[in-house]
């Protein structure tokens, strides 16, 4: 991996992590288009690059993390379903990460859902993510399990889950941001432990690439989060739906036409 490739992937991660368009899917496609070699470090980078975007949430919403322990308990409850399934089916999920076809299909399916989600859940009751119940948190966590399929989008699944629990767009999006922290931190830790357990080591160059990637992802994510909240409050999710359908459709046409995307 070159410095240029690391920066491009970090920009993609920062822009898409908290948008309902699938950051992992976009990074998989980005790596495929750049013809990146299928190495253990590349796979590690695509997961651990999320640590920078986690920090962006902590910086923007730092006051929310000092309000009550109840906040943390609800995040823990919401994190359980996907954590359990991710642990049980980790190897199978890793296999799916190598499929641009899977990413493209799920981009389209998720896009269709986003075209109608504003009409389906148009009578919100809860306008503050701090006011959700433990039951609502768990149900949102169940929706998050869908994000184990590459291309689905963790953000999209949890936001739709939140809106299905009668949260406003803003409250659902913010809870999705907060829930990203335990999920992404856990995924990064598991990936790192597995990486070192398999006898791999990080060279000085690889550590520099990881550092640069996380810094770039952090800066871009802050801009993306601020822009996203304002946009969805005003316009809803339809634009993201059409974007997903167009991107996924283009990839499907390319793959079915015989265009070869080197999988990561």
Question: How would DSSP label each residue in 213-227?
Answer: HHHHHHHHHHHHHHH
pLDDT tens by residue, 82-137? 888 877 776 666 665 666 788 888 889 999 999 998 888 888 778 777 788 899 99
- The two most distant CA atoms of the chain are separated, in Å, by 54
For the chain, what are the domain ranges? 3-256
- Cα distance between residue 62 and residue 110, in whole Å: 31
pLDDT tens by residue, 25-56? 788 778 878 877 778 888 888 888 888 888 89
The pTM for the full model equals 0.81
The single residue listed with the structure tokens 């790192």 is: 192
Give the residue from 111, 28, 101 showing the smallest Cα distance to 252.
Answer: 101
- Cα distance between residue 61 and residue 82, in whole Å: 24
């Amino acid at each position: 991996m070159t410095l240029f490739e690391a920066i491009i992937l970090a920009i993609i991660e920062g822009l898409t992590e908290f948008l309902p368009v699938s950051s992992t899917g976009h990074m998989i496609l980005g790596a495929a288009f750049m013809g990146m070699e299928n190495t253990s470090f590349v796979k590690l980078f695509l997961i651990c690059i999320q640590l920078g975007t986690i920090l962006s949430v902590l910086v923007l919403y730092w006051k929310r993390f000092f309000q009550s322990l109840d906040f943390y308990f609800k995040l823990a409850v919401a994190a359980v379903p996907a954590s359990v399934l991710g642990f049980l089916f980790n190897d199978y999920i890793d296999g799916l990460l190598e499929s641009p076809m899977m990413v493209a299909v799920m981009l389209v399916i998720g896009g269709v859902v986003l075209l109608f989600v504003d009409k389906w859940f148009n009578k919100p009751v809860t306008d503050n993510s701090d006011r959700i119940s433990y039951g609502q948190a768990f149900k949102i966590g169940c929706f998050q399990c869908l994000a184990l399929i590459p291309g689905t989008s963790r953000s999209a699944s949890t936001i739709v889950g939140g809106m299905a629990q009668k949260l406003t767009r803003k409250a659902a999006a913010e809870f999705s941001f907060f829930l990203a922290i335990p999920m992404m931190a856990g995924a990064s830790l598991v990936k790192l432990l597995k990486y070192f357990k398999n006898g791999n080591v990080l060279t000085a160059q690889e550590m520099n690439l990881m550092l640069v990637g996380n810094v770039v992802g952090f800066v871009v994510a802050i801009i993306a989060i601020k822009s996203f909240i304002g946009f969805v409050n005003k316009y809803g999710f339809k634009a993201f739906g059409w974007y997903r359908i167009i991107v996924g459709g283009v990839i499907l046409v390319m793959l079915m036409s015989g265009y070869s995307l080197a999988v990561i």
